[in-house]
Amino acid sequence: MATHDPAPHTAAPRPGAGNPGHAAGPVPVPGDPTALQTLRALDASPRGLTGAEAEKRLVRYGPNTLPAARPVSWPARFRHSLRDPFTAVLFCLGIVSALVAAWGTACVILALVGVSCALRAHGEYRADRAGDGLRDLVAGTASVQRRATAGAEPQVREIPVDDLVPGDVVRLAPGDLVPADLRLLRAHGLTVQQAALTGESAPVAKRPVDAPDGGDTGHLCFQGSGVASGSGTGVVVATGADTRFAAVRGTGQRRTASAFDRSVHGISWMLIRFMLITPPLVLMANAALRGRGLETLPFAVAVAVGLTPEILPVIVTTCLGRAASLLARTHGVIVRRLPALHDLGAVDVLCVDKTGTLTRDEPVVDPARTNPDALHWAGACAWWTLQTAELADPDPLDEALLAATGPEDWDAYDGVDALPFDPVRRLATAVVREPGALGTHTLAVKGAVPEVLERCAISDEERAGLLKRAAELAADGVRLLAVATAQRTARTRAYRPADERGLVFRGFVAFHDALADTAQDAVRALTGQGVTVKVLTGDHPATAARACRDLGIDPGDVRTGEQLADLTDAQLSALAARTTVFARCTPADKARVVTALRAHGHTTGFLGDGVNDLPALRAADVGVCPRDGVDVARRSADVVLAEKDLTAIGHAVVAGRHSSANIASYLRITLSSNLGNVIAMLVAGLMLPFLPMLPAQVLVQNLCFDAAQLALAYDQPDPAALRRPTVLRPRAFLRSLTGFGALGALADLATFGVLALCLPGALGPEDQAGFHAGWFTENLLTQALVMLLLRTGRHTAEGRTPGPVRRAATGLAVIGIAVPLTPLGPLLGLTSLPALYYPLLAAVLALYASALLVLRGRARAVHP
């Protein structure tokens, strides 16, 4: 995949350009400015700015921060919640109910819409606030040269990155993030990882150039890149919105529909079609068979409302909001987008970026493959190079060497000179004086295996054998340093690379990536939950495979980004489904693999922490970022881990499945009951000379049922429902509900027969109140049964202590029996029923419950 450096800065920047309200920067210099011209244009010095001048520039140019996303107001969040198709339909039904003077129905529906939108807006507002608070926990600093006065000596100090201004002189060391766009003034073996900006997976060498060529950016370091090795000093030429990073950040693709969006929207639009068809059918049937006109319009609207799971938005928001709040309190997981919690519960493939997530990006010495004598000399070389060359900080490999050795390996020597590592020689040399070795200096050399062996005094056969051994170790996923020494006559003049000849080979030092503290437990937990973990990394295939084996993941056949370039989307989709590790991936490769997995039917999550992970975070159904991820990655992620414990991902998956199981329970219960009621209502409307249920009765019944179903948001799902991904598949889901709805309609029709037996005039105009009372009671009792039998909660685990669903169902049954007997009954057009009705109704309900259990068992066998 071809990559290109960003276009070079051809003039001094205009820092104020991206900060409205601040003055423009210095006058640009035409052409490719030299380093001196850049300093003059910035009115800066290699010695750094004075504190007073820096304060003036901070006021003039503004802080070194990226343009923040415009804060979303409460009204805007509320309006955004209305975009949900089902919420929009409910809103329209409320308006239609008001137009036909069904004021009670209109008020209830519009109130439910308002509550749902308010809950969702509040939950996302709190998540955004919590996510913004993480920025302060990982606020960065930069090493900058500042002077107290113009004539004072420069002092290196750590200041917040936000306080950097154009003209500041910044020092870079291994592991640093480049805090702004810099023009290099000095560099020693500096290499920078800038994959997020250019797509280059390998570190890029950077060097100061006095007069750069037109297309060369080797003298520039861009904000958002990271220092891989070496050190350097540069002058800030652009901050904030004027940096190259700010331009790249704004080019990410829009997020596509997630698993939650597809599921809920699919179910919603199916129901919408039924609701739009129902009122015209009711009107036409009543007009054709009963000669009724527009007086049946309120009844037709009530039938459409009866089919509607009107509190679905409230149930969804309550389930997801409770789970998100619990995760934030107990596991430090911040859910920035509530539907992402459902997506986590549905995830069956989690793609992870290895470096910084599964591993700590800190190599450690592998003692089993390391020669002790080589480790001793490598540690001495690392220590005395750091001390003698006055490097700001050790690079990651030197840090690992210093951690594996100790003062006993260093203190016996006196440092004389050092030749720091540079990417051309690929070596580092420390010159030391051994105790008692008068007139002799020892060169301790460490570096890349071929370069060190080339300088050793060994035969070609021996060199070939050592290279073969190194290749075998590298194939096992370890990184190697070769170590050698040499004795030289003591001298006062400086040592040069030409002195690194005739070396004595000491051995290899092997390194492997240190695993994140909780990575192994997290992978084990996810695997047990039915989530397949795939690794997408820019690292070497062998290194990635080694990390996977250490984590207990079988890497299988490792693929590289280069192998994906010629594959069609269909070919990549099939390959991604059977491949565990993709190495040497660019940011675009990661996003393409994630997209291919989704196209293959997987609900896919992505865990990443860097700017180079942004495309994949946005391409996934749900993007997850650790606490230590860069700010822009945290803001792009749907879920942020506020703690470093990766096992929190497993807890979030369980919470998502918990919420999804309760949402599925609500849909199964309410659609089964509503579908049966609507079928019976349509049949009764054609059979009876009066309306089978008055609009007020429909409203009260729906209110009672909806209030009882709110308890489902607090239900405890059966543990079996949490062991596998939970996806609301619209077509399969609705197919399984057709049987439940038909069974409910049969129970209603059987009740009509019971009413005809107990009340001879119930099916005629003379005893409408008796018919309405009998069906009202039966409806609420069957709805209570459905709540108990079709939920996914713990039926047996509740024991003697009833849970919220059992209490709600009991209350619903009591209301169904009691209302016709109270003074409220006549107000609703209901009357008391004869005693014979109740045992006959109990027999109908017993048969209904038995059939429901049989049908539920068959449905679970087909859709476990």
Summary count for the chain: helices (H), strands (E)? 30, 22
Question: Which ranges in 392-459 belong to alpha helices (H)?
Answer: 396-404, 407-410, 449-454
Q: How would you classify the pairing of strands 359-365 and 504-515?
A: antiparallel
Residues in the chain: 864
**Assigned token pair, 847:** 């048969």
The answer to whether 793 touches 665, Cβ cutoff 8 Å, is yes
Q: How many C-beta atoms surround the C-beta of residue 280 within 10 A?
A: 11
Helices (H), 138-150: none
Look at residues 199, 227, 344, 236 and name the one whose alpha carbon lies nearest to residue 655: 344
Report the alpha-carbon distance of residue 384 to residue 245 in Å, rounded. Answer: 36
Helices of type H across 478-537: 519-528
Determine phi and psi for 194, rounding to 5 degrees: -130, 40
Query: What is the Cα–Cα distance from 787 to 790, expressed in whole angstroms?
Result: 6
How do beta strands 559-560 and 581-583 pair?
A: parallel
Distance CA 260, CA 622 (A): 10
**At a CB cut-off of 8 Å and minimum separation 6, what does 185 contact?**
35, 46, 169, 208, 233, 234, 235
CB-based burial label for 438 (10 Å; 0-12, 13-18, 19+): exposed
- Contact in structure between 792 and 664 (CB atoms under 8 Å): yes
Name 824's Cβ contacts closer than 8 Å, sequence gap at least 6.
none
Q: Would you call 503 helix, strand, or coil by DSSP?
A: strand
| The pairing of beta strand 440-447 with beta strand 622-626 | unpaired
Among 369, 381, 340, residue whose Cα is nearest residue 639: 340
Cβ neighbors of 92 (< 8 A, separation 6 or more) are none
The structure tokens listed for 301 are 């609207």
> b vs e for 161-198, b when ≥16 Cβ sit within 10 Å of the residue's Cβ?
bbbbbbbbbbbbbbbbbbbbbbbbbebbbbbbbbbbbb
CA 333, CA 79: separation in Å to the nearest integer?
A: 27
- Contact (Cβ atoms closer than 8 angstroms) between residue 803 and residue 716: yes
Cα–chain center distance at 417: 49
Name the catalytic one among 168, 176, 343, 353: 353
Q: How far apart are CA 9 and CA 183, in angstroms?
A: 9
Contact of 381 with 444, CB cutoff 8 Å: yes
Neighbours of 780 (CB within 10 A): 25
Q: Is 343 a catalytic residue?
A: no
State residue 413 phi and psi, 5-degree precision.
-115, 160
CB 504 within 8 A of CB 457: yes
856 vs 714: CA distance, rounded Å: 22
Decide: residue 706, CB within 10 A, 0-12 exposed, 13-18 middle, 19+ buried: middle
What SS3 state is found at 406? Answer: coil
Q: How far is CA 861 from the centre of its chain?
A: 33
Beta-carbon count within 10 A of 746 CB: 17
Which of 353, 346, 355 has its CA nearest to residue 598? 346
Distance, CA of 228 to CA of 225 (rounded, Å): 9
Cα 864 from Cα 857, distance rounded (Å): 10
Active site residues: 353
